[in-house]
Amino acid sequence: DIQMTQSPSSLSASVGDRVTITCQASQDISNYLNWYQQKPGKAPKLLIYDASNLETGVPSRFSGSGSGTDFTFTISSLQPEDIATYYCQQYDNLPRTFGQGTKVEIK
């Protein structure tokens, strides 16, 4: 199975800050990586697919980059509504695997 390692596991930032989350795959997954946002008590929501493509309707302050084994997710200017846990997910192979999540809080 492909292991996905996210860091940090949690972070606290101020409104307007730039926030960066990293995700590392245990083997080369090309660009077969997604990023999801999950708010408390809600289902996950797809934000970024193919490592860097923004899902329709997702604000442009969210972005993703990377390929191979190393990926980055960025919120360019943190907003109060961005408080959530963010997960990366690979779809190069079955089983699909997720990172352990990064909880984003407002300082």
Partner 1 sequence: EVQLVETGGGLIQPGGSLRLSCAASGFTVSSNYMSWVRQAPGKGLEWVSVIYSGGSTYYADSVKGRFTISRDNSKNTLYLQMNSLRAEDTAVYYCARDDGSGSYDAWGQGTLVTVSS
- Chain contacts with partner 1 (rule: CB under 8 A): 32, 34, 36, 38, 42-46, 49-50, 55, 87, 89-92, 94-101
Q: Alpha-carbon dihedral of residues 22, 67, 64, 56, nearest 10 degrees?
A: -140
Minimum Å gap between C-beta 55 and partner 1 is 7
Minimum Å gap between C-beta 84 and partner 1 is 13
Minimum Å gap between C-beta 87 and partner 1 is 6
- C-beta of 17 vs 55, nearer to partner 1: 55
- C-beta of 65 vs 77, nearer to partner 1: 65
Residue 100 main-chain phi, psi, to 5 deg: -80, -10
- C-beta of 75 vs 88, nearer to partner 1: 88
| Cβ contact 61:48 at 8 Å | no
Of residues 78, 71, 84, 59, the one with CA closest to residue 32: 71
Tokens of 23: 């995700």
